[in-house]
Amino acid sequence: MSPDHPTPTGTADDALLDLELSEPSTPTDAWQATTPLQNHALDAVPRDPFVDEDHAVQLPGSSGEHLLQRAYGTEKRARKFYDDQVLDHLNSQMKEFIGRMDMAFVATSDAGGECDSSLRVGPPGFIEVLDDRHLCYPEYRGNGVMASLGNISENPHIGILMVDFVTDLIGLHLNGKARIVDDSDLRAIHPALPAEFDRGRTPERWVVVQVEEAYIHCRKHIPRMVPVLRQRSWGTDDVKRKGGDYFEAKGTPRPWHGSEPISAK
């Protein structure tokens, strides 16, 4: 094994290394407060190796990552990162960063742990910071699948990654709990939300995120990109104008089609 991927030291026993990476079934403190999930398909996670040690408040992160920190001997490096870089709120620098981002990668999963990742884009500042612990992003009319929103309706846990590929080459991770709020309901609470949107689109609803962890993604391997002007076709349901069947999936049999492939039109 290379120094970056050392073999386990044996400080964690075999039972603890047999992981199920899921949320604790009961909250222990401010870092770990969770919303119970219905029909959760995963078994209980192994005991966090740091819970019984001298931490007045449980450290950020999951039991699984704490376990592997001990198994692979990275506890000191991880603790320094938690102490130096991880916050449970948004500071002024993070708010400024969010305010100029025009893209975000969103990760969600359903109650059984089945995952989905998605891209959200908009003009700089399309993600609105509501206060030190809350932000929101708009949901517009799309393909109607609602994969991310469907997951959030079952499981509030969400991860968001924003990356500055152009200027500072740095990223910001946000983890927390999400809820779905209709546009009119959120405006009643936060009337300062923007009333004019890019290309005249109006949000149908918003995803409001309660921030539990906020931390840096270092610039070491972030590529630099240069934005260029593009002519795009917006506000249309014309599949060809929006990219067409780029991956040539149309007409391929699926299990939910039965025995006959769907006809190409």
- What are the pLDDT digits (tens) for 73-126? 999 999 999 999 999 999 999 999 999 999 999 999 999 999 999 999 999 999
Query: Quick check: is 14 in a domain?
Result: yes
Say whether both 60 and 134 belong to one domain: no
- Which tokens is 97 given? 């960063």
Could you tell me if 97 and 200 lie in one domain? Answer: yes
pLDDT of residue 30: 38
The C-alpha atoms of residue 143 and residue 237 are separated, in whole angstroms, by 9
Does residue 251 or residue 61 have the better pLDDT?
A: 61
Residue 202 lies in a domain: yes
- Are both 71 and 133 inside the same structural domain? no
Q: Are strands 103-109 and 115-121 parallel, antiparallel or unpaired?
A: antiparallel
Distance CA 60, CA 212 (A): 9
Q: Are residues 115 and 14 in the same domain?
A: no
pLDDT value, residue 34: 40
pTM: 0.76
- Does residue 117 share a domain with residue 201? yes
Q: What is the pLDDT of residue 112?
A: 95
Per-residue pLDDT at 220 exceeds 80? yes
Classify residue 195 as exposed, middle or buried by CB count within 10 Å of its CB (0-12, 13-18, 19+). Answer: exposed
Rounded mean pLDDT, 183-187:
94
In a domain, 136, yes or no: yes
Rounded to whole angstroms, how far apart are CA atoms 142 and 235?
10
Same domain, 96 and 188: yes
- pLDDT tens string 9-50: 544 445 444 443 333 344 444 333 444 444 444 456 677 877
Say whether both 5 and 110 belong to one domain: no
CB distance 14 to 76 below 8 Å: no
Instruction: Report the chain's terminal Cα–Cα distance, integer Å.
Output: 53
116 and 212 both lie in a single domain: yes
Q: Which domain holds residue 47?
A: 1-86
Same domain, 27 and 53: yes
Q: Count H helices, E strands: the chain?
A: 6, 7
For residue 133, report the phi and psi dihedrals to the nearest 5 degrees.
Answer: -125, 5
Count CA atoms closer than 13 A to 35's CA, side-chain side: 16
pLDDT at 242 over 50: yes
Q: Are residues 97 and 213 in the same domain?
A: yes
Give residue-wise pLDDT tens across range 140-161: 988 889 999 999 999 999 999 9
| In a shared domain, residues 126 and 168 | yes
DSSP sequence for 163-176:
EETTTT-EEEEEEE
Would you place residue 164 in the very low, low, confident or very high pLDDT band (cuts 50, 70, 90)? very high
Residue type (1 letter), 54: D
Question: For position 28, what pLDDT does the model report?
Answer: 40
- What pLDDT score was predicted for residue 73? 95
If one compares 55 and 73, the residue with the highest pLDDT of the two is: 73
In this structure, the answer to whether residues 13 and 53 fall within a common structural domain is yes
Number of domains present in the structure of the chain: 2
